[in-house]
Amino acid sequence: MGSRRTWFGVFVSAAYLLWVWSLIGSRFTTLGALDLNELGDFFAGIFGPLAFLWLVLGYLQQGAELRLQATELKNSVEQQKVMAEATRMQVDNQLKELEEARSREALAYKAKFAIEARHKMTSSEGVRSKFRITNLGGDALHVSIIASPIAGSLNSMNFALIRRDEVREFEVLIEPGAEDITGQLIILYQDVRHLRYQVLYYFDVEQGRFSKFLETAHSNGSPG
């Protein structure tokens, strides 16, 4: 576009100068008789239109270059947006992968308790039930098992360690007339990374049933 404007200006200028020469060529020798101010007016009148022509062409060329720069700037901004979005998506994916890796790691270390009733005997002392707790997950340290409310002899038990696949048994003695006790069983423990967990179960001693309903983790301090 700029090259065409330049050639257009050259063509018009050449045509204009030829036209002027055709008008004053035969009287060119008389210019020497003119005063300096008259000579200046003469050349100003001849070259004024050419100056105006090239001024307009320069203005148009500058406008075209500014529009081109604006287009390039817009394209650059769009490319930066695309790159920023790609970077954001990459960071989001990396964070998601990190979170999934942390979840897999936590799952690998976390204990998983299964509680089941073994058998129940009724005597003059009351109802004596035996239960078994099995750790199907990672090693559990500093395990505390707390009943709320206290179910007969089921109050609290503490184990320094319950390893993976290790089985522990406990016995509950319910006095006569209190066989329908229900409540919550709270298991507190740490995994090998010293991350603390609190697991809550509903229990029904009469039915011999324990149902897990909540598990929370705490990086430090005691579970609340």
Type of residue at 183: G
> Is the overall model pTM greater than 0.75, yes or no?
no
Query: Cα(95)–Cα(107) distance, rounded to whole angstroms?
Result: 18
| Domain ranges within the chain, ordered by starting residue | 2-106, 112-218
Query: Cα(26)–Cα(43) distance, rounded to whole angstroms?
Result: 16
Type of residue at 143: V
Contact of 144 with 111, CB cutoff 8 Å: no
Complete DSSP assignment for 172-219: EEE-TT-TT-EEEEEEEEE-TT--EEEEEEEEETTTTEEEEEEEEEES
Per-residue pLDDT of the chain (224 residues; tens, 9 = 90+): 557 777 887 888 888 778 877 777 666 666 666 667 776 766 777 778 888 888 888 888 888 888 888 888 988 888 999 999 999 999 999 999 999 888 888 788 889 988 887 777 777 766 677 778 899 999 999 998 887 655 555 567 889 999 999 998 877 766 666 555 666 778 899 998 888 998 888 776 556 566 665 567 665 544 44
Helix crossing, 2-24 with 36-109: angle to 10°?
A: 180
CATH topology of domain 112-218: Immunoglobulin-like (2.60.40)
Phi, psi of 69, rounded to the nearest 5 degrees? -65, -40
| Matching residue, tokens 């005597």 | 123
Phi, psi of 78, rounded to the nearest 5 degrees? -65, -40
What token pair was written down for 55?
Answer: 């001024």
